[in-house]
Structure 1
């Protein structure tokens, strides 16, 4: 059934529509993302910031991008020092909140500290980590887009933490539907798999 989009501004001839920031932010939130912590050293201290504006950029050279608010300490800090992107596991909501400024008393965080001084610290329990060195920065309005060149990475077992519509969720079951379900990392699944999943999801009554 078709739905009618909710308007957030009505432009008049020759004018620019007014954008309401909170409404725009809610609309942005419809795009579900993973959750990461950007970690780095300031002197001998480990710092971090929770970020969901993260994406891969290039394989050659290996580049990733993270968007950081200009008002944050992380934004200026990672301009000149190596940093890491830590992809959080589904049960690491407390870690996400800790580095989002909502301190969790008693929370224990385990770090992997590399031997080299020019390598950033990483979260020991993240499902994936990317160690990076600063590559480029770009103006992004009230944010700065930081591109990092990946110098090392590691993938670990576990489901990633997901954020969408203003709340944390887990990935749950994969969406298996259609005559042949495509996979980038393996053979396609037959159509009966999707049918079985739909049957399993039916209510008991």
Structure 2
């Protein structure tokens, strides 16, 4: 999904998507494909304009089912968009239509649910499928990358730099603890559906 469609979680996206993707497979190409651009590589935002803080919500089964059902349609629209470009009004209208078709009030409502899911998924250890917190997941990834002898040195340095930067970026505490159990219940389906967003 192009970065400008969901700018609110650029730093969090690095932590969450790298977390969800790179430990799920030791395949370097798979891990590399799942990583969004580092914040320093993204299009610079004006100095006064900061991404709004994530509004945390209590997730429901219905919302997660809606995200899972909508994902194929959303991907069909967003995968055709050029990277790092704002969608035109036609594309936004199509995204709104898909969101509403799957039970969301708007595309913003859909994104809010996806962002809340991503916040929680970023703290799950992909190996155990248990919630351990984002910092613990990132530290485990750092240890795994450091011992990977197959990864080219330049790529390893870039990934380690991104992970270390993600560690410095505070991830908000999960306000709705019930979201952890709910996301855990759907963990495999969510990783399968949302893990392909950055391709």
Normalising by structure 2, what TM-score? 0.28
Ranked by relative contact order (alpha carbons within 8 Å, sequence separation 6 or more), the top structure is: 2
Q: Which protein has the larger Cα radius of gyration, Structure 1 or Structure 2?
A: 1
Structure with bigger helix share is 2
Normalising by structure 1, what TM-score? 0.28
